[in-house]
């Protein structure tokens, strides 16, 4: 009898264990993404509901006009800034925030909220914990978006756009990164103990961002005095041309071409050839 009882207990335990192992797909699967913008990272963590034949936005939609929405499913959507950023002209300190939205046909309000502990909006939500609110005009998407998508797009050196797409609606707003201040500070520090690479990097940044070209030329010349590289010589020629000294730019480009040819870099040979043709015409004119 004890043996039969033991077998029954074992079978029940096995059935119970099997039941605990059953898994089904999440209705709104969670996603976490991290994107580097400029010199720091922006992270998003949210759950992605799908349309599933429903009307999403509107007075009778799943997400109703004028009402606070968790901007996703399940727990509130989170955004994390590794370093301070600027949104709508206002500084946003580094840290993690909850994202909410108040959709309307003509204008959305995006809420950046300091309390990240709520499951969705939560009954305890209070606007006094909002860090800020941003308005953004909704647009029609170019294609139907079945599953909610929130991403970081239109990435440039010092900015990106947070883009929300679902059903036939798209909303986005810019996030500005404090890149220039950091780069300028690092250049100043690096110049105190400069290497060839530091001189080149500083000159490259100045040239690419329309800063003091005379200073950029001084730095790139120092880099080439320390150890001339074909890519450095090309940059020097481009700075000289930008300053209107086309004759010198042609001479520097020829030196850059010869160095590139010796290094076996045919792309730089072609670039310098093209530049010389263009700048020689400027000399004659």
What's the CATH fold of domain 179-284? Answer: 1.25.40
| Distances, alpha carbon 260 to alpha carbons 197, 226, 240, in Å | 18, 18, 19
Write down the residue that tokens 């727990």 correspond to.
Answer: 75
Indicate if the pLDDT at residue 11 is higher than 60.
no
Nearest to 110 by CA among 93, 97, 94: 97
pLDDT digits (tens, 9 = 90+) for 169-210: 999 999 999 888 888 888 877 777 778 999 999 999 999 999
Considering the entire predicted model, what is its pTM?
A: 0.66
Domain boundaries along the sequence of the chain: 30-177, 179-284
> 212-262 pLDDT, tens per residue?
999 999 999 999 999 999 999 999 999 999 999 999 999 999 999 999 999
Pick the range with the lowest mean pLDDT from 78-87, 114-123, 141-150, 270-279.
Answer: 114-123
Res. 125: pLDDT tops 70 = yes
| Confidence check: pLDDT of 72 > 90 | yes
How far apart, in whole angstroms, are the C-alpha atoms of residue 127 and residue 114?
Answer: 10
């Amino acid at each position: 009898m004890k043996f039969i009882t033991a077998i029954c207990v074992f079978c029940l335990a096995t059935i119970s264990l099997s039941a605990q192992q059953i898994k089904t797909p999440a209705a709104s699967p969670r996603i976490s993404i991290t994107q580097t913008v400029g010199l720091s990272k922006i992270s998003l963590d949210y759950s992605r509901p799908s349309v599933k034949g429903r009307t999403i936005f509107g007075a009778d939609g799943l997400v109703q006009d004028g009402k606070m929405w968790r901007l996703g499913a399940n727990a509130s959507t989170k955004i994390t800034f590794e370093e301070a950023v600027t949104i709508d002209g206002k500084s946003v300190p580094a840290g993690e925030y909850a994202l909410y939205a108040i959709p309307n046909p003509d204008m959305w309000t995006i809420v950046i909220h300091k309390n990240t502990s709520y499951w969705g909006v939560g009954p305890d939500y209070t606007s006094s914990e909002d860090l800020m609110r941003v308005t953004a005009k909704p647009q029609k998407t170019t294609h139907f978006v079945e599953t909610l998508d929130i991403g970081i797009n239109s990435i440039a050196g010092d900015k990106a756009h947070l883009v929300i797409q679902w059903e036939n609606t798209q909303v986005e707003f810019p996030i500005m990164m404090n890149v220039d201040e950091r780069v300028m500070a690092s250049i100043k520090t690096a110049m105190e103990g400069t290497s060839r690479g530091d001189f080149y990097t500083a000159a490259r940044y100045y040239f690419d961002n329309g800063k003091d070209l005379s200073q950029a030329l001084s730095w790139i010349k120092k880099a080439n005095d320390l150890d001339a590289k074909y890519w450095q010589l090309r940059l020097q020629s481009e700075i000289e041309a930008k300053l209107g000294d086309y004759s010198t730019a042609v001479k520097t480009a020829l030196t850059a071409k010869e160095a590139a040819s010796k290094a076996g870099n045919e792309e730089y040979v072609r670039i310098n050839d093209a530049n010389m043709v263009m700048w020689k015409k400027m000399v004659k004119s």
